[in-house]
Structure 1
Amino acid sequence: MASFMVSMAGMFLAFFFVFIVTCFVVHIYRKKPVTTNNLPPGGFGWPLLGETLEFIRAQRNGTPGKFIKDRIERYGNPSVFKTSLFGHRMVVFYKPDGNKFVFGNENKLVALWLPEAIGSLCGKCLNTSRGHEAKWLRKVMLPCVGPEALSNRYVGAMDVVTRLHIKKQWEGRNKVTVFDTVKPCLFELACRLFISLDDPNHVAKLGSLFNTFLKGIGSLPIDIPGTRFYRGKRATFAIKKQLIMLINQRKLALKQQNASSFEDLLSHLLQSSDENGRFLSEMEIANNILLLLFAGHDTSAVSITLLMKSLGEHPDIYKNVLKEQMGILEGKAPGEALNWEDIQKMRYSWNVVCEVLRLNPPVIGAFREALVDFEYAGYTIPKGWKIMWSAAMTHKEEDNYPNVTKFDPSRFEGTGPTPFAYVPFGGGPRMCLGKELARVQILVFLHNIVTKFSWDLLIPDEKIEYDPFATPVKGLPIRLHPHKL
């Protein structure tokens, strides 16, 4: 009898879960019928689910471009095609001309759109704002992540933190799992730079919450216990609660004029107002700090991990990078920190990073929404439809990258690839605000790691999955070989 009751309870929970999912999908799937017959080629897949499962499967298999490539071949190589993802009718752009069109028509024909989970967890911030508000937030935040801040304050601080991290977590060890080791270091760095938080216990607690938050933004927004979104939502609430506590402490310090040493994003946001004299609310500040903490370490940790994977696979490329970095090291006094001028000398190293990001962009692309009916490539894109542009597929086009699977940093010499054929940071008005920050983070870490170690990959050809960012499934375990002095 007891087993029967347990079985019935399990069946009830399963039925309840399916019912909730179905209700959710039906809710977001409702839309005005489309009457035009001039839609792009493609199909909507299964009722309600569309082609979402195939899309997710391709990401988890580490081949995000396969979803698009299969449909390009199926529909006769169109410039765009239609599909249904996450309960929304969608058009996919994957060529440089399509990227140019989307980026060039921001806030005219198209505007930002995000899957429901991201918008719900991130709240009102730069990443979820449109139009004038997005422009103002971008203008406010740029001084804290742009070249001036990097050259005047951040490069030296990044170098010091990175050296300490390598001394504590890498030196004296035979094996290291790269992603699991690098990510906490970059999160600690982001906390120091943006909110002047350097308490190890506090940083570690926030970092654990951020890992749960990250899984939540890549999920369906099903808010019931046991789901990723449910756990992510609870983690997000806890993160914002801690951030608001820090905000209130900083407000008090500013009021008492005891915050002159805090030249960081938090103080800057607290003291910035728009042309009408409106200041951001505490929650808006918390949302934007959450965004920068998230964007300021996750994608860079992924990029560094993929970079070390590629250098482990291509010892000739590693030797060239080492030669460039040793040249920079030899021109400095013992213990002298890197500076902005040193970063500008790392041209070959940055070409290598660019090739890593071409082959495995950390983020596969992004989304927009059609503001009006418009024409593209002879097809009508209806108002309200969603748009996805794909970095993953754009970077794999043979027309722009001959011998496309070959690892070849020389592609980025001179003028580099065709315009809009290389888009790991997006483009147009919504190009990634932290592009320069990421470049410096990656190059500072690269300098410090290659001048101390070479390494072997313990899992050759380790699979990469997108969940939601490109990450080796085992975190890239390596065997370290310290350089002989």
Structure 2
Amino acid sequence: MAASVFQQSKPAQGRVMKAFKDLIAKRRSGKEYSDDFLQSMIERDSCPNNEKQHRQFMTLTSDSKSDVIVLTLIIGGQTTSSAAMMWSLKFFGETREVLDRLREEQLAIARARPEGASATYEDIKNMPYCLKVMKETLRLGNKGWRVNIDMTCIHMNPKHLPDPMQFNPSRFEVPDSLPKHFEMQKPYSYIPFGSGPRSCLGTNMAKATIMMFLHRVVSGYSWTIHDWDPRMEKISFVPRLASGLPITLKAL
């Protein structure tokens, strides 16, 4: 009998978890150091404010759980964001006017920086149209999700979002008479990161990652998409095109 996908994944999971355990052991022994989230967990573990906090934090950051936390962060922080990046390039190929408007915004930001300087988080705060593009990508690019809440139906409901099948970042435009960060959508009609106490902890990181990607690729490159096959991966944690949307980049 052929092994299931889950059974096939177990050896790979074992190898990944072993790598994490080895890394954690090196960090705890002081043989290796890096200024990152894992290091902060280890350092907080070693200097609690009181005994009660120490017991609580040891329960959370024991080696048997630290490696699981790191694996979760890698999957949640990269797999979903990379899928959103793929969808954005596909939508740009279908709506050239969106790409042109976004490129105009991003080139203006790039030209305003000193030569050779990298984009910063402050730059991200000054990307209003890029924010709308990201939100629209997350809305329209979640077709096929298998989750408890059917976000596809919510995000495709014409009662809340007119012409829902159209990629249109301008649907998130806020009139000048309203506050800058006012949400035009009805509550719970747009929930790419969930909502309430169980919403995604990495929301802001995911937004920053996607917007920085859009800035770099749109302001620095043009591209050609080589496979427009719309078929989806049959088994995937997040909705992705089966082809992976292969492209060739060309510097502007």
When the two structures are superposed, what TM-score results if normalisation uses the length of structure 2?
A: 0.86
| Cα 1:479–1:248 shift into 2, 3 Å | closer
Q: How does 1:51-200 map to 2 (within 5 A)?
A: none
Residue 394 of structure 1 aligns to a residue whose secondary structure is: helix
**Residue in structure 2 matched with residue 473 of structure 1 by the alignment:** 242
Residue 389 of structure 1 aligns to a residue whose secondary structure is: coil
Give the drift of 1:432.
0.7
**Residue in structure 1 matched with residue 9 of structure 2 by the alignment:** 232
Alpha-carbon RMSD across the aligned residues, in angstroms, is 2.0
Q: Aligned partners of 1:410, 1:426: CA distance in 2, in Å? A: 22
Q: Aligned partners of 2:133, 2:158: CA distance in 1, in Å? A: 19
* Contact 1:362 1:469 (8 Å CA) reproduced: no
* Contact 2:228 2:245 (8 Å CA) reproduced: no
* Contact 1:365 1:391 (8 Å CA) reproduced: no
**Residue in structure 2 matched with residue 292 of structure 1 by the alignment:** 73
Give the drift of 1:475.
0.9
- Within the candidate set 263, 286, 311, 2:35 is matched to 263
Residue 401 of structure 1 aligns to a residue whose secondary structure is: coil
For these two proteins, the number of residue pairs brought into alignment is 234
Q: Aligned partners of 1:271, 1:429: CA distance in 2, in Å? A: 27
Amino acid paired to 2:128? R
Q: Aligned partners of 1:417, 1:231: CA distance in 2, in Å? A: 42
Q: Aligned partners of 2:88, 2:222: CA distance in 1, in Å? A: 13
* Contact 1:303 1:362 (8 Å CA) reproduced: no
- Within the candidate set 220, 237, 243, 1:452 is matched to 220
Structure 1 stretches of 5 or more lacking a match?
1-12, 14-224, 367-387
Greater RCO (CA < 8 Å, at least 6 residues apart): 1
Q: How does 1:295-314 map to 2 (within 5 A)?
A: 295-314=76-95
Amino acid paired to 2:127? M
* Contact 1:400 1:418 (8 Å CA) reproduced: yes
Give the drift of 1:464.
3.2
When the two structures are superposed, what TM-score results if normalisation uses the length of structure 1?
A: 0.46
Structure 2 stretches of 5 or more lacking a match?
175-182
Give the drift of 1:362.
7.3
- Within the candidate set 18, 26, 29, 1:249 is matched to 26
Amino acid paired to 2:150? S
Q: Aligned partners of 1:304, 1:440: CA distance in 2, in Å? A: 12
**Residue in structure 1 matched with residue 177 of structure 2 by the alignment:** none
- Kindly indicate whether residue 163 of structure 2 is the aligned counterpart of residue 406 of structure 1: no
Residue 464 of structure 1 aligns to a residue whose secondary structure is: coil
**Residue in structure 2 matched with residue 417 of structure 1 by the alignment:** 185
- Within the candidate set 322, 334, 337, 2:103 is matched to 322
**Residue in structure 2 matched with residue 146 of structure 1 by the alignment:** none
Write out per-residue CA displacement over residues 114-152 of structure 1, whole angstroms, 9 at most, x where no aligned residue. Answer: xxxxxxxxxxxxxxxxxxxxxxxxxxxxxxxxxxxxxxx
Q: Aligned partners of 1:419, 1:448: CA distance in 2, in Å? A: 32
Q: How does 1:306-455 map to 2 (within 5 A)?
A: 306-361=87-142, 364=145, 366=147, 388-414=148-174, 415-455=183-223
Residue 240 of structure 2 aligns to a residue whose secondary structure is: strand
* Contact 1:307 1:356 (8 Å CA) reproduced: yes
| Cα 1:337–1:481 shift into 2, 3 Å | closer
Q: Aligned partners of 1:349, 1:276: CA distance in 2, in Å? A: 42
| Cα 1:465–1:227 shift into 2, 3 Å | closer
Write out per-residue CA displacement over residues 254-290 of structure 1, whole angstroms, 9 at most, x where no aligned residue. Answer: xx8x74xx32111111233584422121110011011
Give the drift of 1:448.
1.2
Residue 432 of structure 1 aligns to a residue whose secondary structure is: coil
Write out per-residue CA displacement over residues 354-389 of structure 1, whole angstroms, 9 at most, x where no aligned residue. Answer: 1111112278263xxxxxxxxxxxxxxxxxxxxx21
Give the drift of 1:461.
5.6
Residue 222 of structure 2 aligns to a residue whose secondary structure is: strand
Q: Aligned partners of 2:42, 2:220: CA distance in 1, in Å? A: 41
Give the drift of 1:226.
2.2
Give the drift of 1:246.
0.4
Amino acid paired to 2:125? Q
Give the drift of 1:468.
2.5
Write out per-residue CA displacement over residues 233-262 of structure 1, whole angstroms, 9 at most, x where no aligned residue. Answer: 111111111101000000011xx8x74xx3
| Cα 1:268–1:365 shift into 2, 3 Å | farther
Amino acid paired to 1:271? E
* Contact 2:154 2:189 (8 Å CA) reproduced: yes
**Residue in structure 2 matched with residue 283 of structure 1 by the alignment:** 64
Amino acid paired to 2:244? G
* Contact 1:299 1:362 (8 Å CA) reproduced: no
* Contact 2:229 2:243 (8 Å CA) reproduced: no
Q: Aligned partners of 2:201, 2:143: CA distance in 1, in Å? A: 15
| Cα 1:461–1:416 shift into 2, 3 Å | farther
**Residue in structure 2 matched with residue 464 of structure 1 by the alignment:** 232
